[in-house]
Amino acid sequence: MKPRLDHSQAPGAFAADIEAFLGFIGLERGLSRNTIDGYRRDLDQCALFLAKRGVADWRSVSPDDASAWVHALSTDAYRESSLARKLTALRGLARFLVREKLRPTDFTALLDGPKLRRKIPHTLSDDEVDRLLAAPNGGDPRSLRDRALLELFYSSGLRVSELAALTLQQIDLEHGFLRVFGKGSKERVVPIGGKAIDAVTTYVASGRPHLVKARTGSQLFLNNRGGALSRVALWMIVKKHAQRAGITKSVKPHALRHSFATHLLSNGADLRAIQEMLGHASISTTQIYTAVESQRLLDHHAKFHPRNRSS
């Protein structure tokens, strides 16, 4: 495990600009501590390389200097994802320096980075979703909790961390929506369907009270000790019921979020509306689900079109 860094280890005048940039994006974009530390390591690495080339600070970096670093990285057997992250950090710093009028031009403007192919998300079919949601069929508190959790997960498309942290105050069962704070502490309103409302209503009335302990807070989904379900516990619940439903492929919690988006799209939902419900900052992130839908159509064509069948 890489140690957390409290400040830049870059040589000379490089460090101050790195810390100013990281402080800016930490406040502006709400990035996690791990992401900030990763950017710091990448920029420290670049600064050390530049210093060895005789560059004094970021303000005197030339496009050729930046290209030389990228070329050196490409010969060091880094994965494409690692190269892309390092280049993202450097580009962000360069644009920050221009924005703050600390240099006149962006020295990364002409850099070419690796073209990453985004993986198509793993989703469940309609039948698999139905079987998964029907798996916790008991009347005990944990079964009521698990049924409500799975129904709400699929109905809302929340991130795992968002679902685990959900409180009673965030969900409005009467009007059929919930408020959630996503990445960067951005609030969004997400509608929830009738079956999820019914399952959560039953759990809150007949299941959750049996899980409440003396020090229980306002978290919606509770464990046996009365505390909030962790993301790991939530993953185990999804895995357990997927196995119970006879789903043989690996089912990770995010598969329900991906299925939520893909099924909405295949049934005619607007991509912008899906983006808003998922809490994506950019529509380009949501567009990955169009690839899932395109692949589904190709599979159907290959399976059912008569000219695709061998004689």
Please list the active-site residues. 159, 183, 254, 257, 280, 289
Write out the E strands in 5-103. Answer: none
Q: Which pair of tokens denotes residue 156?
A: 């809302």
133, 154 Cβ separation under 8 angstroms: yes
Query: In the 8-state DSSP scheme, what is residue 307?
Result: G
CA gap 296, 258 in Å, rounded = 14
**Beta-carbon contacts of residue 167 (< 8 Å; ≥ 6 apart):** 217, 218, 219, 220
3 state SS of 8? coil
Residue 216 burial (10 A CB sphere; 0-12, 13-18, 19+): middle
Residue with tokens 């079919």: 125
